[in-house]
Chains A and B, each alone.
Chain A
Amino acid sequence: MTTEEFKRDILRLQPKLQRIAEHIVGDPDSAADAVQEAVITLWEQRSSLQSQDLEKLAPTVVKRRSIDMLRRQHPTVPVDAENLMLTEMPSDDSEERYQLARKLVDKLPKRQRDTILMKYENGLSIEEIGEATGMSSTHVYATLSRAYKALREAIKQYKEEIS
């Protein structure tokens, strides 16, 4: 398995692996750390792996690393590793929800849409958004407030369309 193939498959599996780790560890950041440790382990074995092997092996390795992390975080609490390893993967509708959210956000005016995406998708602070857009912090807050109001209307309209 080449480096490019490994990277492509890992990035494709990342949301799934993150979800598994979060389900076990509970904390998104710790789950991300567990996924990184699992990726390092898989990297060392990549010469003997195929794509289909990686798809099966990666969740198992992530589960084991997540259990190890759980033990490190709570050394005095017994961990039922066997049951955690047998845990079914939680149902995943995040992609659908994201697509719906993105569809509603894209209907917003450009300034409001950019402000919402910078704040939530890119994780920028109010000051960073102000520096990026040239707006003051007060103006950023006002723009976000108008964007929330527009999204509420969009959600209401979407629900009416469904019903």
Chain B
Amino acid sequence: MTPENEMNEELRQLLDSLEEHGKNVRRQKQLGDLIDRLAEEEKPVVIPRKRAKLVPIWWAMGAAAAILLLILLLKPNGNENTLHNDILAEVPETVDYIIDSVKIENENTIIEEAVVHKELLAENTTVVQKTQIKKKNGKAEVVETVEEQPVIAEIIPVQPSDSMVIETNTIISENEKSSDVQQPHRRVIRSLNLVCYECQKEPDNFQYQAVNVQPEKTLFGQPQDPNMKDGALAWQVKLN
């Protein structure tokens, strides 16, 4: 290599280093712009995400709390049904017919329930027991009234469509007689005003006799009551 060529080569390297440095400066500027652009693109993305996370949650929580509060305020007294059921559970042991009626005057203040217990005790007298349960501000008040309604004409009892007949199973203790067991049935028959119209005799002249409806022993030899049928005493009315 001649000295002139050698000098040209060194000059070329010098100029290349200048050019390379200039390119690196421009690349650094491009990288700086790229980082700035990445940072700018990231900014508008981050802020809405934060809002999108927070705002709907608070709105949903507030709406849910408001709805819950509204339901609690407008909801009728929840004890009403429980009390009503308790009364129904106690009544069947003492009465023959139950007539229920529920009157709601005001959902928020007074709930009046009227339960009419009609018990037919004698042929000419009907005792009506009315039980009213007034509920005011969550406190239940029971008001019972008993009325006697003498019956002049023949009573044809009509079972209300919404009523129910309660039959109780009677367990005979050792001290009781069979007549004691039959007493409720007799009373019922009296209340039905069962009278012998041919002889015009009083119901006391009737006798009740148990009827054998099944053998005294089962097929397997176990003793059983021959007068019991379907869990009730089978009997018949006989004129004295």
Q: Assess A11 versus B32: contact at CB under 8 Å? Given A18-B27, A40-B38, A155-B10.
A: yes
Task: Let me know if B212 is at the binding interface, CB within 8 A.
Answer: no
Task: Give the interface residue-count category, chain B.
Answer: 20 to 34
Task: Let me know if A152 is at the binding interface, CB within 8 A.
Answer: yes
Give A121 to B22 CA distance when docked, in angstroms: 4
Report chain A residues within 8 Å CB of B23.
28, 123
The chain A residue with its CB closest to the CB of B43 is A3
Q: Assess A97 versus B17: contact at CB under 8 Å? Given A10-B31, A14-B31, A151-B11.
A: yes
Report chain A residues within 8 Å CB of B22.
120-123
Contact status B19-A35, CB under 8 Å: no
Give A96 to B152 CA distance when docked, in angstroms: 135
Chain A contact surface mostly = helix
Question: Would you give the 0/1 interface string for A85-107, flagging 1 where the beta carbon is closer than 8 Å to chain B?
Answer: 00000000010011011101100
Contact status A3-B35, CB under 8 Å: yes
Residues of A within 8 A of B (CB-CB), count: 34
Task: Let me know if A39 is at the binding interface, CB within 8 A.
Answer: yes
Q: Assess A102 versus B19: contact at CB under 8 Å? Given A43-B35, A152-B7.
A: no
Contact status B7-A123, CB under 8 Å: no
Name A101-122 residues within 8 Å CB distance of B: 101-102, 104-105, 116-117, 120-122
Cross-chain contact of A35 among B15, B20, B27, B35 (Cβ < 8 A): B27
Contact status B14-A7, CB under 8 Å: no
Report chain B residues within 8 Å CB of A43.
35, 38
Cross-chain contact of B14 among A14, A15, A18, A100 (Cβ < 8 A): A100
Identify the A interface with B (CB < 8 A): 3, 6-7, 10-11, 14-15, 18, 28, 32, 35-36, 39-40, 43, 94, 97-98, 100-102, 104-105, 116-117, 120-123, 148, 151-152, 155-156
The 4 closest A-B pairs by CB, nearest first: A121-B22, A120-B18, A97-B17, A101-B14
